[in-house]
Amino acid sequence: MQSLWNDAEAAQFTGPLGPRVYTSRLLGRDKSLVLHGGGNTSVKLREKDLFGEERDVLYVKGSGWDLETIEAAGFTPVALDYAQRLAALPALSDPQMVNELATHTLRAGAPAPSIETLLHAILPQQYVDHTHADAVLSISNTPEGEQRIREIYGDQVVVIPYIMAGFDLASFCAREFSRRAGPHTIGMVLLSHGVFSFGADAKESYERMIRLVSMAEDYLVSKEAWSVSPPAADGGRCKREDIAQLRRSVSGTAGFALIVKINDAPKFIAFARHPNVAKLSQQGPATPDHVIRTKPLPMLGRDVAAFVARYREYFKRNAPQAKEKKTMLDPAPRMALDPGFGFAAIGRTAKDAAIVEELYDHTIDVILRAEALGAWQALADKHLFDIEYWDLEQAKLKKTGSAPAFAGEVALVTGAASGIGKACVESFLKRGAAVIGLDRNPAIADLHARADFTGIRCDLTIPKDISAALDEAVRRFGGLDMLVLNAGIFPSSAAIQEISSDAWRSAMTVNVEANLHVMQACYPLLRLAPRGGRVVVIGSRNVSAPGPGAAAYSASKAALNQLARVAALEWAKDGIRVNSIHPDAVYDTALWTDDVLQSRAAAYNMTVEQYRKKNLLKTEVSSKDVAEMAAEMCGPLFAKTTAAQVPVDGGNERVV
């Protein structure tokens, strides 16, 4: 492992916390050191208060911040001497500790200080860095782990047995650290948890971390336990309906919709098909705090009922030992390993699932290296239970806070690169859905850079394009709950006697037949939607009030309207609702080029200005107005409505 320290870069981080911010980010940049909020850092500074009195302040990473992107505001100032006195108390519950730290924080609005704050407080050096380095965990999580760690580091580190993070761990270290530390000590290894380094300045502490982790890596190399790439495996083989079925079962077990992200890369497939996968995967995580996101074990295969039974046993076995009464969390898995699809990461949001996936990506490395070293051995499940059912996590359950309307659900929008489709993407994202946007325009791929959006270039007139897009959608999010059929074309105006067969056919192909194909391909997924499938068809005012010169468009939209009505009839038995919106006078869309606007205005003997306002309410209708209606139609307001046709047009006297 290389030090990423760079003098020029470091010089840009100014102010008393500058060096602390810089090296924290350096640690965060290396995913084999810390992942997603894991790890923490601190610095002890002497400051003057308003009265000119000096005091020692511990700036420690606040919760909710990632080391990779942390800023000075992400460090919470805590009264150092008070924190040290807390660590010396004979006993303190974790909720009490959290309260004391919150009330001895020296900046209003600062984030809650890390749960490992007291540990930082009792270490005497000014800078303290803590990571959950993969290499150290690979060595520590073996039957001879402690012995190997001592062999590697000698008196350079203090070795601490596994104790759950919180007051008990800090209290143990407060008593033992100074007794066990020597003149060569530059760090501390917490068995089955992680590693600390410390130093007189930010660079020294950081580079000691790199040194300690490099020593672990070198040790693994020397024992031929470093390169553990599993044998090449061919790709996953699994139908998208099978994944959607899995998502439905898992969501049903959880009691809410969940995103399922598939990873069938060779590494995951090979691990899922490893001859010892049952032994290797059914022990526990690489470091215990993963358990909050991953639960203790992945599900092996697709038998959700068997997983649930095992999870209930784990709860029953461990809950009676806890000091307080525990409430069982939902028993649904957050990870699954299957020889067919490889790995499934499961989460309430696409971001949660992506985090679970990354945690397990590293966990596989840790497991295989530990196994190559001797044998992989995770913590006993009572320790995992203590973390998963920690008081403060349980307290979060009691806080009422409603999830967004579409949390855990997946929406697919066609014609999503611009206009109404683009606005629909935003309306569904805003309500917590993961969204797949399809469009012929390649710009769709870059519409949003976020875990809960996937833009796929797709020509909806080519069925195999649709199928490939759905394969990708299911790999990303696990299924489909909501479908917005928005893509459409508006051929240039022509009187009936002038319509070419090509123009007619292309209106029918894009506006009707392509939608039929999308509906056919999506149906098997929609019927597996955990809360019932929903389809919104973007129709047109022309369905009930066609315009002269727009025969091809009006006829195609009327045909689409009939298709939607029949779908409502046929799919009601599957719990799928199909509703339509008939927008009009929406001019912020790609359809409405200046030419089209002018020719339509002319067809009505109006100026463009008059044409824009030709609705009863004399109001402007925007793409967003239509998109919000589309989203609401998929929500609880329309839960008992199917086959509705709602105009969003400012009122049209020909429709009324």
Write out the residues near Zn ion by the rule CB under 5 A.
194
What's the rounded Cα separation, in Å, for the pair 59 and 76?
Answer: 5
Q: Exposure pattern of 634-656 as b/e (b: 16+ CB <10 Å)? A: beeebeeebeebbbbbbebeebe
Question: ∠407-412-415 over CA atoms, to 5°?
Answer: 140
Shorter beta-carbon distance to Zn ion: residue 192 or 580: 192
State the nearest-atom distance from the C-beta of 82 to Zn ion, in Å: 22
Per DSSP, 62 falls in state: B
Shorter beta-carbon distance to Zn ion: residue 36 or 274: 36
Residue nearest to Zn ion (CB): 194
Q: Is 438 helix (H, G, I), strand (E, B) or coil?
A: strand
Q: How many CA atoms lie within 13 A of 540 on its CB side?
A: 24
Q: Exposure pattern of 60-97 as b/e (b: 16+ CB <10 Å)? A: bbbeebbbbebeeebbbbbbbebbbebbeeeebebbeb
Shorter beta-carbon distance to Zn ion: residue 194 or 539: 194
Sign (positive/negative) of CA torsion 477, 479, 484, 488?
positive
What's the rounded Cα separation, in Å, for the pair 18 and 21?
Answer: 5
Shorter beta-carbon distance to Zn ion: residue 194 or 415: 194
Shorter beta-carbon distance to Zn ion: residue 138 or 561: 138
What's the rounded Cα separation, in Å, for the pair 98 and 220?
Answer: 38
Shorter beta-carbon distance to Zn ion: residue 87 or 280: 87
Among the options 314, 553, 587, 611, which is catalytic? 553
Q: Tell me if residue 553 is catalytic.
A: yes
State the nearest-atom distance from the C-beta of 194 to Zn ion, in Å: 5
State the nearest-atom distance from the C-beta of 139 to Zn ion, in Å: 16
Q: What is the CA radius of gyration of the chain?
A: 30
> Which tokens sit at 93?
């519950």
State the nearest-atom distance from the C-beta of 287 to Zn ion, in Å: 7
Shorter beta-carbon distance to Zn ion: residue 170 or 460: 170
State the nearest-atom distance from the C-beta of 291 to Zn ion, in Å: 13
575: buried, middle or exposed (CB in 10 Å: 19+, 13-18, 0-12)? middle
What's the rounded Cα separation, in Å, for the pair 435 and 408?
Answer: 11
Q: Which residue intervals of 143-201 are DSSP H helices?
A: 145-153, 167-180
HEC letters along 200-263: CCHHHHHHHHHHHHHHHHHHHHHCCCCCCCCCCCCCCCCCHHHHHHHHHHHHHHHCCCCEEEEE
State the nearest-atom distance from the C-beta of 61 to Zn ion, in Å: 11
Phi and psi torsions of 307, nearest 5°: -60, -45
**CB–CB of 535/520 below 8 Å?**
no
State the nearest-atom distance from the C-beta of 289 to Zn ion, in Å: 6
Shorter beta-carbon distance to Zn ion: residue 358 or 472: 358
Helix (H) or strand (E) holding 580: strand 577-583
State the nearest-atom distance from the C-beta of 191 to Zn ion, in Å: 12
Residues with a catalytic annotation lie at: 553
